[in-house]
Structure 1
Amino acid sequence: MLKSGKFTDKKILLIDKDQVKTNDRTWCFWEQEPGFFEQLVYREWSHLDFFGEGFTATLDVSPYQYKMIRGVDFYAYCFSEIARHPQVEKLFGEVKGLARRNGKVILHIDDREMDLGDPVVFNSLLKEKRSKKDIVLLQHFKGWVIETETPFFDPGKATLMDFRIDQRHGTSFVYVLPFTEHAALVEYTLFTPALLKDEQYDEGLKSYINEYLGISTFLVKEQEFGIIPMSNRIHHFYKDGIYNIGTAGGQTKASTGYTFRFIQKQSDQIVQALINERPLSSIPKPPSRFRFYDNTLLHILYHDQLPGKQIFSTLFRRNDPRRVLRFLDNESTLADELKITSSLPTWPFLKAAAKTIFP
């Protein structure tokens, strides 16, 4: 909104728990063209290693670039830009309630109640009330930025997925993002209904670094931990007088947890609608077939009907990686999707599809 220059006459209130300044997370995504946050891209790769079940390859995804943005750079840039615009007010505290009441928006933050009048409200706080029909997998991950004395890494390529690790907890893989020959982010990722104990993430990381990277001596420079819910629940863009964005507005892909680029695409649609004075209800929803695909795969992973290791290995072994990335971005054609679906094991997916349609 600020970059567009079209909202200089509007007051904007930004509410957050605190002003984060640490490198507490990393966002990874792929694009063919420079994106809105291009200047923040810390590293990018067009060649990605994949280690799966009966399939190992270096994938050439060009013209896509697999990009990485560090949290600390993102926060610094955004708050610096926001500070240049006096019409933006920042309010920090824990939001305990937000609702419309008698035509007004009432905010409960920390121990205060505030009447905000009648603004347009965008909310990214996820508050879930689950039913028995809901499937919820957690994508949870712990990452270490490690540094070595001797060169170990190839900065020219990253590891997208390495499934060689133990799968006893469920679908588990590691990805590796090299910064230099001496430093990389190593991320241990799982798709399971429950979290692990903290020491189990550490054990998984140590084991992978020692056994598969062949590194016995290293220094942990930074750590990060995150949880992304992967659910078949419908998250409404507009509900009770409030527009929901981010994961709260359904921008997390249910089958993979990818969120960052979906948020950017939705944000652009919202701003264009506001600039052109179109109702936000005119923003098109993603084609329903993608939700069907996601829920089918989510059903299989949740009920452990096929190992995730086998599914993703088959997906990349039998398809051009660019087709897979288009599919995961909800930008594939029906022809792409026919090739994708026909490459996967037929019977388990048919059964899961039937359960998805007729729960």
Structure 2
Amino acid sequence: MNYDYIITGSGFAGLSLLYRILKDPVLQTKKVLVLDKTEKKTNDRTWCYWEKGKGLFEPIVTHEWKELEFLTSNLTRRFKLDQYSYKMIKGIDFYNHVLNFSQAFENVTFKYETVKQIQIENDIAFVETENATYAAEYIFNSTTLFNPKINTQNSLLQHFEGWIIKTKKPSFNSKIGTLMDFRLNQEHGTTFMYVLPTSAKEALVEYTLFSEKVLDKERYKVALENYIKDDLKIEDYEITHKEFGIIPMSLADFSRSPNSEKRIINIGTAGGYTKASSGYTFQFIQKNTKEILNNLRKGKPPNPKITFRDHRFHWYDRTLLEVIISGKMTGKEIFSILFKKIQPEKILGFLANESTLKDDIKLMNCLPKTPFLIAGFKQLI
């Protein structure tokens, strides 16, 4: 069966691209197939991100913050956001929003089948599943079929467990979010907490690590319990939601297109749109899917061209990650220096690949020269 576009994977990247296609008057009549092994029906994750102004998914933003704080044992920095807003979207709200919107389009088909193979024959892209073979002009892939091998020499894992807790009495200031709290034991690697209150009695508390391997499940539980009791000073609370996730932070090459014909386009983490040095993904997927849409509208090959700016930030990411992987500095040390010496919104701009070269130089000048020069040179050769 033939389609204009096939989207393999109905996670955040796949559904973001579908939503943009269906919102566009030029492309919304295209015949689209979305493939995934299961339907998205659960609140399996929460996305938190910062952006300027109103975004595409503003109607489903759970909460936003214009004031954040960064904490270590020696530093407390609370700061107001001017250009950016820090926002939260629940996974189930996102899935329902896109899936409900897509129901009005008869040209969109969802099939729940395991993708076995994606390939090109005679300049046509094919997807083979457990049940059938489908063809399309372009396939947008977010599955792991083309992922490079990652190991402890070229990658770290960002792994986290988050709890949404409700308290009996007011315990939070819902106007202030904790971006990073490093007042934790760092024995397993870069380790910090997020605390994102959505009301005086409710917050997402998330235990996050950058390390070579995940922990035993009990360790996440104990860390969260201790932090809520000892640092947040909360004894009486109810856990209303739990989530666990693993995000690769890798020096490996995630290809944007695994074939020379460019009929298969990797999106999301599969396409390298998880920022290697931080694990941030939300806004990079949004920028990528927007570029893909613009190219499709113009009849151009969908994959965005890699710019000098892309290469620049890719080098920054690889350098920073190399410093952490090699053990020359810890994530806590790096972020502590940055938040002590640099205006915080400039740091957010850097982490979003939106900073100017002048700001980048200022940021790099405040970090120790030797480990970053060695790591930066290693990533150039």
- TM-score (norm: length of structure 2): 0.89
Say how many residue pairs are matched: 356
Question: Is 1:296 the equivalent of 2:314?
Answer: no
Query: Which residue, out of 249, 261, 272, partners 1:250?
Result: 272
The one-letter amino acid paired with 2:198 is F
Gaps of 5+ in 1: none
Deviation at 1:134, TM superposition (A): 5.7
Q: Which residue of 1 aligns with 2:107?
A: 87
Partners of 1:23 and 1:70 within 8 A in 2: yes
| SS of aligned partner of 2:226 | helix
Question: Is 1:266 the equivalent of 2:288?
Answer: yes
Q: Which residue of 2 aligns with 1:338?
A: 361
Q: Which residue of 2 aligns with 1:320?
A: 343
- Judge which range, 275-284 or 88-97, deviates more: 275-284
Q: Deviations over 1:213-268 (max 9, x none)?
A: 01122111100011110111222222224111111111110000000110011111
Q: Which residue of 2 aligns with 1:174?
A: 193
Deviation at 1:54, TM superposition (A): 2.5
What's the Cα RMSD here?
1.7
Question: Is 1:287 the equivalent of 2:310?
Answer: yes
| SS of aligned partner of 1:188 | strand
Cα 1:52–1:123 shift into 2, 3 Å: same
Question: Is 1:140 the equivalent of 2:159?
Answer: yes
Q: Deviations over 1:290-343 (max 9, x none)?
A: 111111110111122112111101111111111111111111111000110001
Deviation at 1:7, TM superposition (A): 2.0
Counterpart-to-counterpart distance in 2, 1:282 and 1:250: 13
| SS of aligned partner of 2:62 | strand
Partners of 2:148 and 2:254 within 8 A in 1: no
Query: Which residue, out of 40, 47, 67, partners 1:47?
Result: 67
Cα 1:186–1:348 shift into 2, 3 Å: same
Q: Which residue of 2 aligns with 1:26?
A: 46
Deviation at 1:53, TM superposition (A): 5.1
Counterpart-to-counterpart distance in 1, 2:86 and 2:124: 44
Partners of 1:273 and 1:283 within 8 A in 2: no
The one-letter amino acid paired with 1:5 is P
Q: Which residue of 2 aligns with 1:222?
A: 241
Query: Which residue, out of 24, 28, 34, partners 1:4?
Result: 24
Q: Which residue of 2 aligns with 1:59?
A: 79
- Judge which range, 18-27 or 132-141, deviates more: 132-141
Cα 1:51–1:133 shift into 2, 3 Å: closer
Counterpart-to-counterpart distance in 2, 1:330 and 1:264: 13
- TM-score (norm: length of structure 1): 0.95
Q: Which residue of 2 aligns with 1:189?
A: 208
Query: Which residue, out of 346, 349, 352, partners 2:372?
Result: 349
Identity of aligned residues (%): 41
Q: Deviations over 1:131-188 (max 9, x none)?
A: 7796111000000011110111110111000000111100000001101111111000
Deviation at 1:85, TM superposition (A): 0.8
Cα 1:160–1:271 shift into 2, 3 Å: same
| SS of aligned partner of 1:253 | coil
Gaps of 5+ in 2: 1-20
Q: Which residue of 2 aligns with 1:157?
A: 176
Partners of 1:136 and 1:229 within 8 A in 2: yes
The one-letter amino acid paired with 1:235 is F
Counterpart-to-counterpart distance in 2, 1:2 and 1:144: 34
- Judge which range, 100-109 or 240-249, deviates more: 100-109
The one-letter amino acid paired with 1:341 is M
Q: Which residue of 2 aligns with 1:122?
A: 140
Deviation at 1:55, TM superposition (A): 1.7
